[in-house]
Chains A and B, each alone.
Chain A
């Protein structure tokens, strides 16, 4: 055995280093993400607004209300006060960005929506179907119970993204602030992507005035029927069936479109509406052309409205919804 002493010593040292590395890695992850008293690097983040929205919907004491959900176009296009005034019901926004994923939003509503709620899904081009693991983890980071519940649902996601979660948080804790400061100095765009830009209802309260986009309109920013994910729409039909079973109403509306950016003809718009109507079981509020708004109502993206535009869009939506709510 003496002749193998060298190789055994080497193997033991190597294994020792590997084990110590694994232990440090596990400890680091636990400290950064799992420990209740661990650092919260995202307390000012845009995604954190989503956690507040979830908590508002999860509240068992709340009255039935209108819940408008979808991608970032919802956060930028809805003014809950206008919607409430039009419909006579409380309104709540669910959604801060596309990467939260429509299926994920529908899944949360299945958990937390209550009898009598009126759900409005804003159908748009930007909506992703699946949730981005990191975005949801960042949003839930301050609520370990919700975070672990989500990770239990997405075990393979956690396995795949564990390393990324570590470095993303280390980045946020170290250089993110400096980078964002430098960026805001260099950029002439208003830095509205923080939690303080949202209120409890999910409204974007940061003052958005004027249009920060260039004059160029890109036809790619407008939606054509082929852009819609047929599987996602099918999934929404299942969700609609679930809503009906649970005395919850579900409607579909279109995201705002910039005037002049739509390249299809009047017939094209009509055909689009007909196809959506045919495919979707849930009622569709108005037609796509009713949501076309002038350039002056848009803010920093072809799907993002400024404060004034959000009021106008919410009036259109509220007016359409009012008819249905009165009917019931």
Chain B
């Protein structure tokens, strides 16, 4: 009997190991596979170092590159090799920039990444690159420039740099983290903290709700409109456009909540990407609150360098001579903004919709900048312009403007965008709108509680209160009832169709 049992156990064990290695896993952040992966990584991250002798606890961070490798491997072997290659290149580029002070080295490195992003977006090569190429390429560029500027030391350990570049919570959709800030958190020893982990779980649950209930269900409602823009008009187009604005926020910030929550479990804070963007009072403020790390990246590595170019310096001198303070400040800024918005458009993809969308956003910000003195004068002369009511109106105006800009971003072609915009103003179409809403009442019914939760969370955040901390202070029964209800709600109301994937994972 022993023999039979022994013979039986070998294939069983090997099958398990083979499954672990070769079974296809869906590592999308809302799947069960990913949840199991995070649970195993978190347990290993805290338990393995704790059972090791004290002097070896510093090796805790090795679990991160190991997790990254597994995560990338499950997404595709070519992607893993690609990230390994680019990480090695970044490591060597960092050392070269430090060793050789010639400007050609960083310039060549940056051009290499730009060329990589261009080449890998071609249909022929698209399958080779790991998802998130646009995100980690910018992080690599940032690292090389920082080494050149001396704001960060060139990393001498290639594994550490790989751990940073390929860090699984931020590799697919960002945020764009700064190596200097990250390395301190990533490579130090962390002990498990109950309170922190509970807060991390809240954040993950909120993110999953945003994605599965809000984003995926809204997608189900509005995709028909974007598939046939000529078939809808007036209120239906407005309704679809507003819902798309909610969808994009729920999708992208939902991803960020999950990524930040997972990272918080490992006690590694990643950069925040959203700060209640739909409560902004101007387009410029919106972009300081929406995809914040992208804005910060372009500000640091494009906007400021453009301001220091001979052209901008020359213009500044020219206006200074003419004693034109307005021109001296505004004209170089406008040139910098033009460069930033054009590059963000290209970064989004080789697509006229993206480019026009980013130009539109840039144009609104530039016009606001140009008219800044006029606004200030009017605001000073008319006291009612500074009241709370006007702030609410400005918030609504900005939301509608952002919603309108997404009508350029979302449709498949620029032609479709124009069709939608034309149809938006070609009549009210109340009856068609009522029917459209009626046919998706199930989805509207299911997303309403999620929408209320997100609005309450954001409004509380705007007032400086964290809903998670407020909940933590409630009594045991109320707190746990809230957890259980939220979980059941997300499970029941989550979209039951095939996962739509995260909107920004295509970039």
Contacts and interface: CB of A to CB of B under 8 A. Distances in A.
A9 B484 contact: no
A122 B438 CA distance: 31
B268 interface: no
A167 B484 contact: no
B195 to A, nearest CB: 10
Contact of B488 (A9, A14, A24): A24
A174 B449 CA distance: 13
Interface stretch (A15-23, A87-95, A98-106, A111-119): A15-23
A4 B50 contact: yes
Contacts of B47: 4, 7
A4 B194 CA distance: 11
A25 B442 contact: no
A164 B50 CA distance: 44
Interface in B42-96: 43, 46-47, 50
B484 A168 contact: no
A166 B438 contact: no
Contacts of A25: 488, 491-492
A13 B198 CA distance: 10
B487 interface: yes
A183 interface: yes
Nearest to A11: B43
Contacts of B201: 14
Contacts of B493: 167
Interface string B477-490: 00010011101100
Given A175-B445, A186-B434, A24 B194 contact: no
Residues of A in contact with B, size category: 20 to 34
A6 B42 CA distance: 13
A10 B442 contact: no
Interface string B166-202: 0000000000000000000000000011100110010
Nearest to A176: B441
B46 A166 contact: no
B446 interface: yes
A6 B192 contact: yes
Nearest to A174: B445
B490 to A, nearest CB: 9
Contact of A17 (B194, B441, B480, B494): B480
Contacts of A17: 480, 483-484, 487
Nearest to A25: B488
Q: Which of A7, A160, A168, A174 has the most CB of B within 10 A?
A: A7
Nearest to A23: B484
Contacts of A3: 50
Nearest to B46: A7
B438 A183 contact: yes
Contacts of B485: 24
22 contacts: A4-B47, A4-B50, A6-B192, A7-B43, A10-B192, A13-B198, A17-B480, A20-B480, A21-B487, A24-B485, A25-B491, A25-B492, A160-B496, A163-B491, A167-B446, A167-B492, A167-B493, A168-B442, A171-B445, A174-B445, A175-B441, A186-B431
Given A28-B492, A167-B493, A171-B442, 6 more contacts: A6-B192, A7-B47, A10-B197, A14-B201, A179-B441, A186-B431
* Minimum-distance CB pairs A-B, first 5: A21-B487, A7-B192, A20-B484, A21-B484, A6-B194
Interface of A: 3-4, 6-7, 9-10, 13-14, 17-18, 20-21, 24-25, 28, 160, 163-164, 166-168, 171, 174-175, 179, 183, 186
